[in-house]
Structure formats: C-alpha cells, structure tokens
Structure 1
Amino acid sequence: MRNVDFRMFAGEIVGLLGHNGAGKSTTVRMFAGMSRRDSGYLHVLGSDPDVAGPSIRARTGYLAQRSVLDAELTVRDNLEVHGGYFGLRRTAARKRADELLEFAGLSDRARARVGSLSGGMARKLAISRALVNDPDLLLLDEPASGLDPQARQAVWTLLGQLRRRGVAQLLTTHHMEEAHALCDRIVVLADGRVIAEGTPQELIDRHAGRSMLELRCRTGGGVRAADRLIGHFPGLHTVGDHLLIPTDDTDAALATVRRAAVDFEAVVVRSARLEDAYLALTVKESAR
C-alpha cells in the first residue's frame, strides 16, 4: 500500500473500488486490525489498530464476502452464539438477537436452520451477526455479491437504515450500481494507492463527462478505432467491439469520429454512469 489517505465519519458509507489486487481487502484488514502496516499512520475509532486492536474490534462489525454462518445452527442460535464472543450474557444475547431478527425481517425464521434460508435471507442474517456488538464501524466485503435484484435491494435497505443510525460503513464492491446507490463517497484504488476520491457524481463529472457516446464498431474494429481516436478523447475506452467516449458535446464528438473515418454500425447517446468514470480512470492508470 502506498499513500492511501482518506477519512471516514459517523453515518457515512465509503466505497472502495478497484480491480482484484488493487488493495481493497488489505485496506479493510488494516482497519479491522487483522493486518499490520509497514509504515504510515492509521487511526480507527480514535486509536491505532496495531496498539489497540482488541478494543477496536469490540466496536467493529465485519462482514466477509464468503458466508461464515454455521449452517447446522438455527438463525437465532447463530446470533446468540456470536454474541457470546463479545461477552454478552445469555439474557443480553437473547435480547440482542430479538432486536436484530426484527431489524432484518427474520423474526419468523428464528428457528429455521441456516441451510434452509435463501441467499438473500442468509446475507441479511450475516449482516445481523456483524451487528451483534452494536458496532460504530461496519466493514463490508462485497455485501450483496451473488444476490438476485430483489435480495440485493433488501440488503441495501438494511445498510441505509444503519447509515441513518450513525454507523460508519466501509465497503468493497465490484458493482458500480451498488456503489452509486449506497456510497456517500468513493475511493478508487489501483496498485495499492488512491487514484481518485469523491462522491459518485463528482467522479462521473470529473472523469466521464456529462454524456457517453457509445459506438458499436464492426467486428474487430474497436481496437483500430480506439487507436485513431485516443488523441482526441483521452478518456476513451473499449468493451469488446464497443467504443465508449466520454464527452460534454456529443455532436462535436460524433463529428470527430466521422472525420477519423471510423467504421461503426450503431450509435447510442446516454448519460454517463459511475462505471464509465471507473473504466476511464483504470484505463488511464493501466496505460502508465
């Protein structure tokens, strides 16, 4: 990790974006006090994780990408047993389990085995388990990965409720829709360093322009077209035979494309999205 510098505040959701190996998981593990840093400064909830790891973890919830639920236990037992790890006595653990089951909409499944739950229900239970200790900071690794749209929306709703309660949340995701829907601020990582930071809309405005000109080139023509146009559009990138050009003036951009004699079959003009900004950023970075 090199020069990773950002802050989080209560009630804020910060998203970490980046390709595999960019440093997202390492950053989260350092926040959780699970990985030691080689240099620099890190304060989590006002303390240094290398010095006060146990006390920080007592105030932190962690949701792994892969399920850590015990499939042989009931929904309720998963919560109560986990509460014991944080020193909750049996009565307190039961009360906390009741609160979390209601919060997640799982009260009617309290006695069900985890193995009988749908993917969305299991993910809501995993989030609930990460909240057993009533954390001030929640670390989320791909919170809605692999879920269908309805289940994903249910998870997003829970995270939005936690934001309103003042819980700070740091999440990693590869889904731009999720990042745009949830995050107050986004930090983009590449090769262990921050290459961009801002609100979703700020990143779109800075790196994708107001609109996106999307051309479908004839088979095999995307790369050749990109070579002809990269000097005119630094943020240009290709996806298969599709050429994506961020622009604030689509008419002028299309005129430039035609002057370059690019062979294309179709044109789509649409509003720029977070994914466009992310691709433009990472294309620039890989070209260095």
Structure 2
Amino acid sequence: MSFPVLGFDAAWSSYRRWEHRLPAKPVPVEPRRIAGIAEVLDQVDVVVLDAYGVLNLGSSVIPQGLEAVRAIRAAGKRLCIVTNDGSQGTAAIAAKHRGRGYDFRDGEVIAGASLVGEAVAAFPEVRRWGIITQEPRPEAAITSGMTALALDKAAYDAVDGIVFMATEIWDEERQALLSDTLTARPRPFIVANPDVVAPHVGGFSAEPGYFSHRIADRAGIEPVFLGKPFPGVYRLVRERFPEVDPQRILAVGDTPHTDVIGARAHGMRALLVESGFLAGRDSLAYCRDCGILPDFIAPAI
C-alpha cells in the first residue's frame, strides 16, 4: 500500500479510545446470524450500503456484493451507498463502482463530504480555509478557492480554518505540521471522513478520522465530523426517503463504530458483515466487547 497504514489491533484500540466523540451507544440487542441480506429483504424497504468492506476491498470487488445488489433490485427494494470517502465526488464514486461491475447511478451515492458546504457556512468568521485533499477536488464549488495544505508550514499557519478530506498523500511529516498549527492556534477543523481505517486486500489504510482524533487529543479541540456515524449524513438518507419508517431501512456495513452505531443511533436497523474490518475475527465477541451490537451478522452481504 502506498497510503498510510494501520494494523487491526491499533485500529480497534483507537476506535475504543475515541468512543467518547461518537454518538451514544444504542440499546443492546441480540444479533441474529444470517447467511446474507436476501434472508431479511422482506423486512425492509430501503437498503443503505457501505462500500469498503461490503462492496469492495480497496480496488477489488467483493463478489457477494454484486450478487446482493442484484437481489436487492430484483426484490424491488430501493438502495443507496452511504460512504465516508472524501477523496472524490459522488459521481466519481458511482463511476468507480460501475467500473467494478455494479450498476449504481450517480444519484444513488450519498457522501459525508457533500456536507462540507454547510459545515463551512457554520463558521462565517473564517475568511481563509485550508484544505487537505487530492485533485480533482470533491465539492469543487466550495473547495476550489481553499488553500491546499501540504509541506509548507506557513500555509498551515496562515489559514483560519482547515478541511481534511483524504489521506492518500498523508504522512507523519504532514501530520506534525497540522497538529502543531492547530495546537498553537486552535481553529475550526472539519473532517469529511471520520473513519479510523478502511479495509483493503492485505491490510488497512489509515483514514482522516485516525489522524484527526490524535490532533483533537493533543490540541484539545473538537473536530466537526461529517460522515458516518454522525447525524448529518443520516439526515441526508432520511431526506432521500422521507416516507420510509427508519425501522424499514437496513444499513449494511463492516465496522461497529461507524456503520452499526450510526445506523442504530438514527433509528435504522444494522447488518454487520464480516467481509471487511472484522474478517477472520469473532465479530460478535468484538461487538460485545465494545457494546455496539447490530441487528444481524452475516459473513458477507
């Protein structure tokens, strides 16, 4: 992997250490183990899909994902992807999935990063924003005028607020610059991707959430997180399907601290799949350990 990486034990301990910044844990339930989503499609009207660990591992397709999406559509259920990917816009994300064999339309992708405009608007006092991203920038109408932050300390110090979109070019040298500037002068800090890690074939990439929580611990600031498990992205889901009872919405994901806690905190049901973050591990034991329990567990979607 060319991006920053993190091992499973470090990722799990990080999620546990930073639980105080997440939504409140939902009331415990006793998860039902199922073979796959087809078993419970009669109980739902809408399926909300995570991508990494459910549909793909990095650039590699999870074969069960292709079959499941076909089954969801054949059953007449509506669906959407809800992703924390802050590295590209929703149309580009949909196109990437089509290249992997999925049939997602552009409008079927909801990203936490799409909330960056309203997040920035909440800080009218900020005159100059800095941004950590890759090109082309997602949400270009909002982000195109922001100052790119890389290895120039003066650039970090000059901006009045910072937006952290993606970590593809991130490293500890850049992390030190960001951490130092926000510790010396706390400013609004918006994080488009709250994930600690994302699963790939052979390991995990360290994501903006991991680096941002570390900064929050040191600088004593409260980042504004935009994606799962935080409320804004679930508001977008409810706005997309306003007539659907949240209990008839099933969110499918691979990570208790993002997909499960987020869905259940917002009234939806959750299916945890073991094809991503918890692959090869006793997922129920880990869920019991952290007290974040899904409604269903399956080996894959």
**Fold-level match, TM-score > 0.5?**
no
Higher relative contact order (CA 8 A, sep 6+): 2
Q: With the length of structure 2 as denominator, give the TM-score of the two structures.
A: 0.30
Kindly name which structure, 1 or 2, has the bigger radius of gyration based on alpha carbons: 1
Please report the TM-score for the alignment, with normalisation by the length of structure 1: 0.31
